[in-house]
């Protein structure tokens, strides 16, 4: 009888370890068609609450001259996913990085097409 308990615990621990190791990071990048980055990369961590039902508070961008973004990256990592799993999705952090543009971009098609 005790062997079955240890066997079940071993299987559960192995499954949890497998899920933890297989689950990985995600990186998404959006950038201007003709990138012209200026200055340093700014990083901010944003949080989504209750599966997105409560709107997260967004930080204002810190682009001094143009107020134009050149590159935006959304990063997800194992620690953020662990927080999301432990809280059953109630809290979901995401790291955002952005670079400001050196100059205003010519007006073109919006990201995602015309809407």
pLDDT tens digits along 36-68? 777 778 788 888 888 878 776 666 667 766 667
Whether 56 is in a domain gets the answer: yes
Q: What is the pLDDT of residue 68?
A: 73
Q: How many domains does the chain have?
A: 1
What mean pLDDT comes out for the span 84-106?
Answer: 81
Q: Is the pLDDT of residue 108 over 70?
A: no
In DSSP notation, 80-110 reads: HHHHHHHTTTSEEEEEEEEEEESSPPPP-PP
Per the domain annotation, does 106 fall within a domain?
A: no
Query: Is 14 part of a structural domain of the chain?
Result: no
The pLDDT mean for the chain works out to 75
Mean pLDDT of 18-24: 66
Residue 66: the pLDDT is 65
Residue 13 lies in a domain: no
Give residue 53's domain range: 25-101
Q: Return the percentage of the chain with pLDDT > 90, whole number.
A: 0
Judge whether 114 lies within some domain.
no
What the block records as the tokens of 38 is 């200026």
| Per-residue confidence (pLDDT) for residue 34, from 0 to 100 | 72
Decide if 18 is inside a domain: no
């Amino acid at each position: 009888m005790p062997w079955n308990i240890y066997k079940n615990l071993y299987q559960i621990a192995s499954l949890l370890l497998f899920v933890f190791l297989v689950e990985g990071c995600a990186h998404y990048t959006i950038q201007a068609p003709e990138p012209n980055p200026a200055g340093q990369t700014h990083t901010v961590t944003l949080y989504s609450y209750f599966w997105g039902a409560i709107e997260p508070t967004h930080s204002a961008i810190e682009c001094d001259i143009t107020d134009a973004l050149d590159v935006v990256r959304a990063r997800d990592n194992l620690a953020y996913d662990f927080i999301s799993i432990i809280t059953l999705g109630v809290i979901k952090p995401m790291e955002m990085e952005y670079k400001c543009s050196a100059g205003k971009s010519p007006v073109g098609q919006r990201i995602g097409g015309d809407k």
